[in-house]
Amino acid sequence: MLKNEKIFQNLKCYDTIIPVPISKKRLNERGYNQSYLISNEIAKKVGLCLERNCLIKTKNIIEQSKLNKEQREQNIQGVYKLKNKKRLDNKKIILFDDIYTTGSTVNECCKILKQAKTKEIAVFTLAKD
């Protein structure tokens, strides 16, 4: 993916990449956050700042993949919180999620990220389900 010059150049226009966070419980069960692992590699290769302590998941919820579109929208509401928002002031942000299905997760994350004084928020995913 990062060998594609067009993608690489588009990503370089941003300041910061933020992976969609997972709950502490899920992180302990799984042992990793795949969105963090992938976005960390992207950040290194492109030269972006990686912020993993600005957007946090405050609740453990039913897995989105087990729900329909309407249930996903309800399930994800109020799950994320913004911390250290000054670190995002005047930044062009990439929100990274590994899979885009209905958009409920990235929509909720973007809603929270807009509380910071960012210049722009883009969403980058690897797959669409």
Q: What is the pLDDT of residues 21-30, one digit of tens each?
A: 998 888 999 9
CA–CA distance, 8 with 45 (Å, rounded to integer): 9
The DSSP string of 86-121 is GGGTT-EEEEEEEEESSSHHHHHHHHHHTTS--SEE
Rg over alpha carbons for the chain, rounded to the nearest Å, is: 14
* Cα within 13 Å of Cα(102), Cβ side: 16
All domains of the chain in start order, with CATH:
14-128 (3.40.50.2020)
Mean per-residue pLDDT for 10-35? 94
pLDDT value of position 2 = 60
pTM for the whole structure: 0.90
pLDDT of 4 higher than 80: no
Backbone angles phi, psi at 95, to 5 degrees: -90, 120
